[in-house]
Every structure is written in C-alpha cells, then in structure tokens.
C-alpha cells in the first residue's frame, strides 16, 4: 500500500512539473544596439562590442532593443526576435568633438582627418559639431549631434567660410584672358 502511494505521488509530481515547465515561458534574451546594416531579409545591430543579426528589416542609424532567443551560428550571433522596439542607447557612445561637418560625395567630419559618416547630420557645411555615436566598419554612425557654430577664425585643416565680395576690376576683364570685356 505504501509503495503504491509513493508511486502515485511521484507520478503526480512529475506531471505537475512537466505542466509548469510548459506554462512558464522560456528565458528571453534582450539586446540593444544601433542598426548598422539593413536589407529586406535581415539587419545587424551593434552596441560597440558585439553585433547581432536579426531577421527583420530595420532603419539604419536607429537604436533598437530586440527581445527573443539569442544563439550562436557559424557566422556570428543571431537572434530569433519575438518583439522589437526603438529605444535609447544603453551602451557607451564614442564622441568626436570639434570636427567640422563637410559634404563632398559623402557626409564627413574634418578633425582635420576625414571621418566618414554613415548618414548626413543636421548641420551646415563647415559648422563645428560634437557628434556621439559608434564607429562600425569604415563609417561613423551618428546618434546625437550638437552644433557649435561656424569657426570664428581660420584653422589649418578645417574649412573656413569667407564671405563673397565683388571687385570692380573683375567686371572689366574677362576671366583668365586679361582682355577688356565689351561691357559699356
């Protein structure tokens, strides 16, 4: 009789344990990163230390928190995403202070070395800026931009805006020939 009671109790405990395992959701991973690549099939999030690929198309330059199951693959980390939201960065950002914004085929900061930006920023050409973001590959991905205005004086390696002025003699000579124009 005691043996039957023990067996019934063990079977009951096993059934209850299995039911609880099925009811409780599996542990969900979270990863917050800046979208540095996106295609119709997947995107890459980067947080300054590691990158994670996810199976969704996202907007490059925005920070997302992805929830789901993180797993290792032969090509790096992959997350099977259950939910996704735009969020503020919870990782340290790199700063570039005192760079001058410039556009010439692609947006860049002159520090005086060229730092290529992944996207244009809201600043005037030649304006000094403080940019916070992440460097990934050959580009810097801006997240925060603070403008500092145009430089007050020329500095070697930086652009300097000079106001256009007119010369009365320029109107009387043709460009590059030294001959008088036919204006009267």
Mean pLDDT over 124-135 rounds to 92
End-to-end Cα separation, the chain, in angstroms: 126
Note whether 159 and 126 are within 8 A (CB): yes
Q: What is the pLDDT of residue 184?
A: 46
Helix, coil or strand: residue 80: strand
Q: 105-132 b/e with 16+ CB inside 10 Å = b?
A: eebbbbeeeebebbeebebeebbbbebb
Question: Residue 142 and residue 32: Cα distance in Å, rounded?
Answer: 16
Task: Label residue 18 by pLDDT band (50, 70, 90).
Answer: low
Question: Across residues 68-73, what is the average pLDDT?
Answer: 91
What pLDDT, on the 0 to 100 scale, is given for residue 26?
Answer: 62
Q: Is the pLDDT of residue 156 over 80?
A: no
Please tell me which residue, 26 or 151, carries the higher pLDDT value.
Answer: 151
How far apart CA 63 and CA 29 sit, in angstroms, is: 17
Rg (CA), the chain: 30
Across residues 107-133, what is the average pLDDT? 91
Is the pLDDT higher at 10 or at 120?
A: 120
Which of the 8 DSSP states describes residue 14? H
pLDDT of residue 181: 47
* pLDDT attached to residue 159: 67
**Contacts (Cβ under 8 Å, ≥6 apart) of 120:** 103, 107
Question: What pLDDT band is residue 168 in, cutting at 50, 70 and 90?
Answer: low
Range in 1-5, 41-45, 98-102 the model is least confident about: 1-5
Query: Which residues, at least 6 apart from 164, have a Cβ–Cβ distance to it below 8 Å?
Result: none
Token pair 């990934």: residue: 136
């Amino acid at each position: 009789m005691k043996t039957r009671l023990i067996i019934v109790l063990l079977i009951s405990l096993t059934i209850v344990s299995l039911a609880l395992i099925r009811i409780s959701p599996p542990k969900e991973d979270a990863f917050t990163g800046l979208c540095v690549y996106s295609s119709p099939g997947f995107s890459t999030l980067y947080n300054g230390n590691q990158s994670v690929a996810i199976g969704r198309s996202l907007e490059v330059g925005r920070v997302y928190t992805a929830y789901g199951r993180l797993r290792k693959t032969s090509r790096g980390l992959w997350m099977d995403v259950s939910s996704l939201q735009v969020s503020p960065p919870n990782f340290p950002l790199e700063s570039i202070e005192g760079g001058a914004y410039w556009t010439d085929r692609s947006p860049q900061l002159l520090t005086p070395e060229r730092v290529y930006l992944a996207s244009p920023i809201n600043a005037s050409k030649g304006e000094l800026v403080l940019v916070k973001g992440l460097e990934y590959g050959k580009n810097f991905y801006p997240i925060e931009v603070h403008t500092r205005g145009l430089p007050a004086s020329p500095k070697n390696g930086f652009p300097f805006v000079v106001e256009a002025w007119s010369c009365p003699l320029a109107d009387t000579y043709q460009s590059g020939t030294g001959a008088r124009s036919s204006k009267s």
